[in-house]
Amino acid sequence: MTGLRNRNISVSEASRPVMPRHARLKFDEVRQRWVILAPERVLAPDDIAVEILQLCDGVRSVDQMIDQLAAKYTADREAIGGDVIAMLQDLADKGFLTEVREKTS
Amino acid sequence: MSPTLTDTSPVVADPTDGLAIMEQRGSTAETFGIPLAVLAELTHRCPLQCPYCSNPVELERGGAELTTEEWKKILAELAEIGVLQIHFSGGEPTARKDLAELVQHASDVGLYSNLITSAVMLTREKLKALADAGLCHVQISFQGNEPTVANRVAGLKNAHEKKIEVARWTRELDLPLTVNAVMHRQNLHQLADIIQMAVDLDADRLEVANVQYYGWALKNRAALMPTIEQIEETSRIVEEASIRLKGILAIDYVVPDYYALRPKKCMGGWGRQFFNISPSGKILPCHAAETITGLEFESVRSNHSIAWIWQNSEAFNRYRGTGWMPEPCQSCEFKEIDFGGCRCQAFALTGDAGNTDPACTLSPMHEQIFKMAETEAAADNSRFIYRNFAGGTLEPDGNDGA
């Protein structure tokens, strides 16, 4: 089997992150809030995390996400780019983001 | 601008848990919000005979089990009242022929599903069917890291080899895997190897769970109780591995009560954020709750809704919150941290579920319990009483594997 492989991804502007199969973003109708469902855990992401996670479809690159957020909030692209990557990295480190596997690999 | 992920795990003791969020949001369930996760014990039937089984000593027979239609109705009701995750457990849940149908139904009603299994009855085809039905996570129990110890503890030939095979299929099917290892005096020497086994199997999580002594485990306490030296070594190994394997394998560690200083926040507090459903449909505050005599548990087969039973039944309200607590709990600054520890343990060790959990150093019985653990561990009686429907069978003398 495999050796010591860190399962967490490293996020860059070229990354195309997506939530892994075992992490589900869901709107909890009873409690009227977004939740992330993961093995043995339920997490309550804040509005910013929810918005970012919704952009993570495995197709969109981080670069495109930053463009989209900069346009939506009429923010300076340079200013928010670093924050978005940091946030995505944090989500990835917690196991809620992965990258689409290339078919050729 | 940093994302806030509030962990609302029903397992981890965290002040910002599910209930805190639900109370703050004013949920429909008011004071005691509907649990985020529910354990469905589909059957008590199981090919394994582990001497520490968490099922009650009085196992429920197959004929009393809920039907497929009854379980489907329950799953829909759970989703509707706000439960988010369902853990399919047992006994051995794959002993139910309708498991894939139930997993599919859980998916259809929007529940996140988790399979807690011994794995020995699974084929690759059956596992694939469960994955296709939307199963989100698989947890496989291991009794050791190699067949000699593992199969003897499980009381089943070739069990370990089969588990390894199923764990590999799990990862091949891209399902996340948790390895659950129940630890006791007779397998703690394998802990480092079990951790490596979990890494080799590409598991995401490892639960290192020291045996908790109710029901079957209480019957087998003399054969299972670790020595204090083993516990110290265990803590050292877990701590070292948790750091070394950060980002590779998450390790959850359940410490043994008898050697603890403070009691565990059992079930997150009685009737506070967890319930389970027995094979015949009883709604229980924990899977060991039936060991407490004198409590009556309502069933889904009654004319009450699940939410009503959770909120109003006598069994749930008896030890809910802090009002029931005697001294030294009542004036204790930790009473809302640990909620008085474990009611089943208080009953098992003191005869009264309303007493302070003897795992707590403030319990007048703590010293006695600690000494008893040391004495039992030192006596080193290693014969198991195997779990079965006949009330248990003593292991043959000189058994070297099932």
A2 versus B335: the higher-pLDDT residue is B335
Q: What pLDDT is recorded for position B262? A: 86
Q: Quote the percentage of chain B above a pLDDT of 90.
A: 76
Global pTM value: 0.89
Kindly report, residue by residue over B141-200, the tens digit of the pLDDT: 999 999 999 999 999 999 999 999 999 999 999 999 999 999 999 999 999 999 999 999
Residue with tokens 């006994």: B91
CB contact under 8 A, B114 and A40: yes
* Residues of B (234-293) whose Cβ lies below 8 Å from A: 245, 247-248, 252
| Predicted ipTM beyond 0.90 | no
Q: Is the peptide bond before B91 cis (omega within 30 degrees of 0)?
A: yes
Q: What pLDDT is recorded for position B64? A: 96
Kindly report, residue by residue over A30-75, the tens digit of the pLDDT: 888 899 998 888 888 888 889 999 999 999 999 999 999 999 988 8
Residue B345 neighbours by CB under 8 Å, 6+ apart: B212, B213, B214, B257, B263, B266, B357, B358, B359
Q: What value does the mean pLDDT take over residues B102-107?
A: 98
Kindly report, residue by residue over B59-75, the tens digit of the pLDDT: 999 999 999 999 999 99
Q: What pLDDT is recorded for position B22? A: 40
Kindly report, residue by residue over B204-227, the tens digit of the pLDDT: 999 999 999 988 999 999 999 999
* Residues of A (37-96) whose Cβ lies below 8 Å from B: 37, 39-46, 48-49, 52, 80, 83, 86-87, 90-91, 93-96
**DSSP string of B12-26, one letter each residue:** S--TT-HHHHHHHHT
Strand order in the sheet with B5-7: A24-28, A33-38, A41-45, B5-7
Residue to mutate among A5, A8, A11, A21, with most B CBs inside 10 A, is A21
CB contact under 8 A, B10 and A42: yes
Going by their DSSP bridges, the two strands B205-210 and A24-28 should be labelled as unpaired
Q: What pLDDT is recorded for position B318? A: 93
Kindly report, residue by residue over B245-255, the tens digit of the pLDDT: 988 899 999 87
Nearest to A1 among B4, B10, B200 (CB): B200
Nearest to B21 among A29, A31, A36 (CB): A31
List the Cα angle B275/B290/B78 in 5-degree steps.
20
**Dihedral Cα B266, B267, B270, B273, nearest 10 deg:** 150
Q: What pLDDT is recorded for position B149? A: 96
Q: What pLDDT is recorded for position A3? A: 42
pLDDT at B84 over 60: yes
User: Among residues B363, B373, B355, which one has the least CA distance to residue B217?
Assistant: B373
Q: What pLDDT is recorded for position B20? A: 41
Q: What pLDDT is recorded for position B202? A: 94
DSSP H stretches of helix in B328-390: 335-338, 343-350, 366-379
Q: What is the mean pLDDT of chain B?
A: 89
Closest B-chain CA to A28: B82
User: Among residues B61, B45, B162, B42, which one has the least CA distance to residue B114?
Assistant: B42
A96 versus A65: the higher-pLDDT residue is A65
Say how far apart CA B45 and CA B42 lie, in whole Å.
9
pLDDT at B402 over 70: no
Kindly report, residue by residue over A1-33, the tens digit of the pLDDT: 444 555 678 888 888 999 988 889 999 988 888
Kindly report, residue by residue over B368-392, the tens digit of the pLDDT: 989 999 999 999 899 999 999 999 9
Q: What pLDDT is recorded for position A79? A: 84
Nearest to B8 among A2, A44, A94 (CB): A44
> B356 in helix, strand or coil?
coil
Q: Quote the percentage of chain B above a pLDDT of 70.
A: 91
**Confidence band, pLDDT 50/70/90 cuts, at residue B332:** very high
Q: What value does the mean pLDDT take over residues B283-303?
A: 93
pLDDT at B27 over 70: no
DSSP H stretches of helix in B119-264: 124-132, 147-154, 159-172, 191-200, 215-219, 221-224, 228-244
pLDDT at B8 over 60: no
Burial class (CB in 10 A: 0-12, 13-18, 19+), B371: exposed
Helices (H) and strands (E) in chain B, counts: 15, 12
B26 at A interface, C-beta within 8 A:
no
